[in-house]
Amino acid sequence: QAIQAINGHTNMSAEEFTNMIFQKIDVNNDGELTLEEFITGVERDKDLLELITKSFDLSNVLKVIQSG
């Protein structure tokens, strides 16, 4: 939910958000994501790649830590 809020996806529940991701990248539709499926899916979906990249951008956190 925090990742969604950071990226402006607050109109979706955590379950809806997860289902959307699985629909995009669970290529064999088994309800599980292998590391290979995840990497391939993220590489193929520019919007998802941007979302993941923003979600894990910790530069602002590091700035706060460094400044005390």
Where in the chain are the domains? Answer: 14-67
What token pair was written down for 48?
């998802």
14-53 per-position pLDDT tens digit:
778 778 888 888 888 898 888 888 889 888 988 888 877 7
Residue 62 pLDDT grade (very low, low, confident, very high; cuts 50, 70, 90):
confident
Q: Do 25 and 40 form a contact (C-beta atoms < 8 A)?
A: yes
pTM of the model: 0.57
* pLDDT at residue number 51: 75
Residue 10 pLDDT grade (very low, low, confident, very high; cuts 50, 70, 90):
low
CA distances from 1 to 4, 27, 33, 48 (A): 5, 24, 19, 16
